[in-house]
A and B are shown apart, each in its own frame.
Chain A
Amino acid sequence: MKLDSKIPEGPLAEKWDKHRFKLKLVNPANKRKYNIIVVGTGLAGASAAASLAELGYHVKNFCIQDSPRRAHSIAAQGGINAAKNYPNDGDSIWRLFYDTIKGGDYRSREANVYRLAQVSNNIIDQGVAQGIPFAREYGGLLDNRSFGGAQVSRTFYARGQTGQQLLLGAYSSLMRQVAKKQVQLITRTEMLDLILVDGKAVGITTRNLITGEIATHMADAVVIATGGYGNVYYLSTNAKNSNATAAWRCYKRGAAFANPCFTQIHPTCIPFSGDYQSKLTLMSESLRNDGRVWVPKKRGDDRAPNDIPEDERDYYLESRYPSFGNLVPRDVASRNAKDVVDDGRGVGPSKVAVYLDFADSINRLGENVIREKYGNLFDMYERIIDENPYKTPMMIYPAVHYTMGGLWVDYNLMSNIPGLFVLGEANFSDHGANRLGASALMQGLADGYFVIPYTIGDYLATNKATKVPSSHHAIEESVALVHDKMDKLLYIKGEKTSTEFHRELGKIMWEYVGMARDEAGLNKALEEIPKLRDEFWQNVRVSSDKNLMNKDLEFTGRIADFLELGELMARDALERNESCGGHFRLESQTDEGEAKRKDDEYAFVSAWEYKGEGKKPALHKEKLVFDNVELTQRSYK
């Protein structure tokens, strides 16, 4: 497998400009002759489908839900970064670039991240023009807040519903193109396979989730924007329908999977409450702007939080990291929460939580200001936990939230399979080993609005469309594969539900491939996951009808894929014997217990190649070159 990152030559700041000039263009009149498949309608998918359609391409856009507007991007709360420097606090494209590279613990490409910072400003402009009601000051100009991992205020937000507003903006542009018949929207449809002809991506095989009908769709290029795979852990902040299936099918068709072990555990989520629990709810990181994190100094302190006097509280983030305090990056905040809980100082009924306290801010700013900023989050907390966070400190605990890993792509966002592009959380490109808050929305939209419209043209211009007959063996083989898998699942009629398997997988993943990993644990995971997978294929029971709406069948198919992906994640984590960002190997720590990178050995992207059923995948390394930033030990002290 050849991994050519296609990073353009030249000084960092000029790379994207020059590259755009070099990219081949498709003549406007010819654009309508090209068909493009976009799978996913999240920020990445919807923005890509809309922009490509605006250019004149014919787009088919797929999603699992009933409407594009429901993609999981809708749930992002906190905000979106841009280097506008409106607050005049010293922000710049360079600083956003630097913060993102550093936040990612130097495991991403300089050129990609720089481009991301460059186009970040255009995203905000685009959003405002779409009518997104971003928060404003009384003077009528846009307001900013600060987020973890940055010392400037560069985060734009729309109450606690930024992802919703950005997605509705992209969705509205998309629906405009649907009205113009430039986009054919195909909802409640799941991509179950990628079709390759002559090594190029030329189509997908799908299942209609209402009728169960299996169909194939052909195009000149396929764009995957299917989101992240955090649901491998069963419990995560992802939506129930978030899954890895589309990406995993591409992997099995030859696309490299990069950095699968890089997962982000978000520090501020509502703690776990019982086995029936189906998901974890995120409390936006922006809360850390005004909330102070603490636990009792004493182990096993059972007093109510408000009865614990000031001097018996340990504001551990503030004391350990004086300069960033409660705003340290996510991985650091999460690991520290785990440390204090492991130390026996956790709070709440389960003792697996820490406090996030707003008393000081409420005293300083007044309850109304806090309500204005976070009202909906506080309400949500109260609905779930049944406690009033204006009065009692919130309880929070880390939860799986985001996957930095994903399908490998080059600078053009094309995978190693020609014609297969990957955008948004589904690719691995910009966040290295840890994503900074408010950067995923930025990346998804950058990919869709401002990168793919240029780069896909270059591919199309140089790859003349070939008409593939519908009887082509690649199509027949793909359809048969999809049918086989489903029939097999239905045939087993075992004793356990797929959710039970999923829960067990989640426990293995959280235990051994979670916030802290070591060789023994990872080896254990590599033993247990295949065992669980074997049992799954012998003992799962699926609700029966494949020609009707059948969510159980859908989910079971996705869990089957998670059972394979989980193993790859453990393998990747084992292979990378260093700590970096969200990947913390107990074997590799500094004296102060912080993540210790080993740049000499591991400054690379791991890209895994599928080698066939039951065979070990092959590891390829894309070396990361840093010409512009100095690799330092991250310090937020």
Chain B
Amino acid sequence: MADMTLTLKIWRQKDRKSPGKFVTYTVENVSEHMSFLEMMDVLNEQLIKKGEDVVEFDNDCREGICGMCSLVINGRPHGQEHGTATCQLHMRKFKDGDIIVVEPWRAAAFPVLKDLAVDRTAFDRIMAAGGYTSINVGGAQDANAIPIAKRASDEAMDAASCIGCGACVAACPNASASLFVAAKISQLALLPQGQIERRRRAANMVAQMDKEGFGDCSNHAECEAVCPKEISITHIARMKREYFKAMALGE
């Protein structure tokens, strides 16, 4: 296939406080084997040579696991491919002459830092509110002391595979963080190790989520559809049950 020429409409914003706007760029000679971010690299190389500021976008592992990359591509967080993070999206999914709109995650709880990079530390604060088992190093019993049903362990692993990218928030019409929060609550609720603190965890993590200014969950399930790890909203249902238990039974 011949190389492509693409038009990119990219959100540019100098810093947290400045207003932003869309700027249009043309990128030529895009190979179908490139990843989306490699295409962005090509653009940035051009900008550097022209003496312009590079387009800032977060990324690190480039293999779909660190959760650092973001970008809303043509209206879809992480682009149109299901189960795929932006860094794993390849240009063969686009056509010559395409116009691609690239925007940052948009949510009050994820303020833009520069261009396409946003601040996702709200997720860390939610984790700090209870996304752990309160055990210190040194006291753990033998790993095989408590057998865990394979099904429970597998389902916990489904939830645990969340990469904390925030696409669920970006895609949600309400900017709700329910899927991210539920994934952690659900993982630990499914495992014996998480039992001791399960109610306290659900209550605290939900409280922190609300405090961070995410929206409510209207059950659009867009989150599941864009999640690069395809985490199911069934975990949100479990989070709700956990929360109701916490309400009803207390500590």
Interface centre among A122, A165, A178, A240 (most CB of B within 10 A): A240
CB distance from B226 to the nearest CB of A (A): 16
Q: Report the stretch among A90-98, A380-388, A558-566 that lies at the interface.
A: A380-388
Indicate whether B149 reaches chain A with its CB closer than 8 angstroms. yes
Q: A67-B123, A131-B188, A548-B15 are in contact. Are A178 and B128 (CB under 8 A)?
A: yes
A544 to B134, CA, bound (A): 46
Indicate whether A435 reaches chain B with its CB closer than 8 angstroms. no
Check A54–B137 contact: CB distance below 8 A. Answer: yes
Check B187–A131 contact: CB distance below 8 A. Answer: yes
Indicate whether B251 reaches chain A with its CB closer than 8 angstroms. no
* Nearest A-chain residue to B114, judged by Cβ: A549
Check B194–A161 contact: CB distance below 8 A. Answer: no
Indicate whether A499 reaches chain B with its CB closer than 8 angstroms. yes
CB distance from B168 to the nearest CB of A (A): 16
Interface 0/1 of A101-139, CB less than 8 Å to B: 000000000000000000001101111111111111111
Check A140–B140 contact: CB distance below 8 A. Answer: no
Near B by CB (< 8 A), chain A positions 502-516 give none
Indicate whether A37 reaches chain B with its CB closer than 8 angstroms. no
A70 to B143, CA, bound (A): 26
Interface centre among A68, A171, A172, A499 (most CB of B within 10 A): A172
Check B68–A66 contact: CB distance below 8 A. Answer: yes
Indicate whether B221 reaches chain A with its CB closer than 8 angstroms. no
A542 to B131, CA, bound (A): 40
Indicate whether B100 reaches chain A with its CB closer than 8 angstroms. no
Q: A74-B65, A140-B147 are in contact. Are A543 and B47 (CB under 8 A)?
A: yes
Check B137–A551 contact: CB distance below 8 A. Answer: no
* Nearest A-chain residue to B32, judged by Cβ: A386
Indicate whether B144 reaches chain A with its CB closer than 8 angstroms. yes
Indicate whether A404 reaches chain B with its CB closer than 8 angstroms. no
Indicate whether A276 reaches chain B with its CB closer than 8 angstroms. yes
Check B47–A379 contact: CB distance below 8 A. Answer: no
A455 to B62, CA, bound (A): 36
Check A543–B60 contact: CB distance below 8 A. Answer: no
A455 to B141, CA, bound (A): 24
Interface 0/1 of A186-211, CB less than 8 Å to B: 01000000000000000000000010
A239 to B188, CA, bound (A): 29
Q: Report the stretch among A4-12, A277-285, A286-294, A610-618 that lies at the interface.
A: A277-285
Partner of A545, one of B53, B131, B154: B53
Q: A133-B160, A158-B157, A543-B54 are in contact. Are A175 and B60 (CB under 8 A)?
A: no
Q: A125-B142, A386-B92, A499-B45 are in contact. Are A544 and B187 (CB under 8 A)?
A: no
Partner of B62, one of A179, A279, A499: A279
Indicate whether A168 reaches chain B with its CB closer than 8 angstroms. yes
Q: A75-B63, A278-B38 are in contact. Are A131 and B150 (CB under 8 A)?
A: no
Main secondary structure, interface of B, reads: loop
Indicate whether B67 reaches chain A with its CB closer than 8 angstroms. yes
Q: A84-B143, A449-B137 are in contact. Are A164 and B121 (CB under 8 A)?
A: no
Check B54–A122 contact: CB distance below 8 A. Answer: no
Check A550–B132 contact: CB distance below 8 A. Answer: no
Partner of A240, one of B45, B62, B65: B62
Check B193–A54 contact: CB distance below 8 A. Answer: no
Q: A70-B66, A74-B66, A175-B128 are in contact. Are A276 and B38 (CB under 8 A)?
A: yes
Check A552–B149 contact: CB distance below 8 A. Answer: no
Q: Report the stretch among B83-91, B212-220, B238-246 that lies at the interface.
A: B83-91
Q: A125-B143, A131-B187, A178-B128 are in contact. Are A239 and B62 (CB under 8 A)?
A: yes
Check A386–B90 contact: CB distance below 8 A. Answer: yes
Check A133–B156 contact: CB distance below 8 A. Answer: yes
Indicate whether B48 reaches chain A with its CB closer than 8 angstroms. yes
Indicate whether A65 reaches chain B with its CB closer than 8 angstroms. yes
A126 to B140, CA, bound (A): 5
Indicate whether A28 reaches chain B with its CB closer than 8 angstroms. no
Check B65–A164 contact: CB distance below 8 A. Answer: yes
Check A131–B194 contact: CB distance below 8 A. Answer: yes
Check A281–B63 contact: CB distance below 8 A. Answer: yes
Interface 0/1 of A215-243, CB less than 8 Å to B: 00000000000000000000000011100
Q: A69-B67, A69-B164, A273-B33 are in contact. Are A141 and B144 (CB under 8 A)?
A: yes
* Nearest A-chain residue to B41, judged by Cβ: A278
Check B161–A241 contact: CB distance below 8 A. Answer: no
Q: Which residues of A contact B154 (CB under 8 A)?
A: 133, 136
A173 to B150, CA, bound (A): 25
A51 to B135, CA, bound (A): 11
Check B65–A161 contact: CB distance below 8 A. Answer: yes
Check B63–A552 contact: CB distance below 8 A. Answer: no
* Nearest A-chain residue to B58, judged by Cβ: A66
Indicate whether B44 reaches chain A with its CB closer than 8 angstroms. yes
Indicate whether A450 reaches chain B with its CB closer than 8 angstroms. yes
Q: Which residues of A contact B88 (CB under 8 A)?
A: 380, 383-384
Interface 0/1 of B30-69, CB less than 8 Å to A: 0101110110011011011101111010111111111110
Check A172–B160 contact: CB distance below 8 A. Answer: no
CB distance from A377 to the nearest CB of B (A): 10
Check A75–B117 contact: CB distance below 8 A. Answer: no
A86 to B147, CA, bound (A): 13
Q: Which residues of B contact A125 (CB under 8 A)?
A: 140-143
Interface centre among A132, A134, A172, A276 (most CB of B within 10 A): A276
* Nearest A-chain residue to B141, judged by Cβ: A125
Indicate whether B24 reaches chain A with its CB closer than 8 angstroms. no
A130 to B113, CA, bound (A): 33
**Chain B: number of interface residues, binned into ranges:** 35 or more
Q: A125-B143, A159-B157, A159-B161 are in contact. Are A239 and B114 (CB under 8 A)?
A: no
Q: Which residues of B contact A500 (CB under 8 A)?
A: 45
Interface size on A, residues (CB 8 A): 86
Q: Which residues of A contact B134 (CB under 8 A)?
A: 176
Q: Which residues of A contact B156 (CB under 8 A)?
A: 131, 133
Interface 0/1 of B171-203, CB less than 8 Å to A: 000000000000000011001011000000000
Partner of B60, one of A47, A138, A240: A240
Check A210–B144 contact: CB distance below 8 A. Answer: no
CB distance from B138 to the nearest CB of A (A): 8
Indicate whether A437 reaches chain B with its CB closer than 8 angstroms. no
Q: Which residues of B contact A541 (CB under 8 A)?
A: 48-49, 51
A549 to B14, CA, bound (A): 9
Q: Which residues of A contact B37 (CB under 8 A)?
A: 278
Check A549–B15 contact: CB distance below 8 A. Answer: yes
Q: A84-B143, A449-B137 are in contact. Are A549 and B117 (CB under 8 A)?
A: yes
Check A142–B143 contact: CB distance below 8 A. Answer: yes
Check A384–B90 contact: CB distance below 8 A. Answer: yes
Check B127–A171 contact: CB distance below 8 A. Answer: yes
A97 to B122, CA, bound (A): 42
A311 to B22, CA, bound (A): 60
Indicate whether A72 reaches chain B with its CB closer than 8 angstroms. yes
Check B114–A75 contact: CB distance below 8 A. Answer: no
Interface 0/1 of A482-524, CB less than 8 Å to B: 0000000000010101011000000000000000000000000
Ranked nearest first, the 4 interchain pairs of A and B with the lowest CB-CB distance are A140-B147, A172-B132, A129-B140, A125-B140
Residues of A within 8 A of B (CB): 47, 50-51, 54, 65-70, 72, 74-75, 84, 86, 121-122, 124-142, 158-159, 161, 164-165, 168, 171-173, 175-176, 178-179, 185, 187, 210, 239-241, 273-274, 276-279, 281-282, 379-380, 383-384, 386, 449-450, 453, 493, 495, 497, 499-500, 541-545, 548-552
Q: List 15 A-B contacts (CB under 8 A).
A: A54-B136, A66-B119, A66-B120, A72-B60, A128-B140, A129-B193, A136-B150, A171-B127, A172-B133, A210-B113, A274-B33, A279-B63, A282-B63, A386-B92, A450-B137
Known contacts A172-B133, A176-B132; 16 further A-B pairs (Cβ under 8 A)? A50-B137, A66-B68, A74-B66, A84-B144, A130-B135, A136-B150, A141-B144, A158-B157, A278-B37, A282-B63, A383-B81, A383-B88, A548-B15, A549-B114, A549-B117, A552-B54
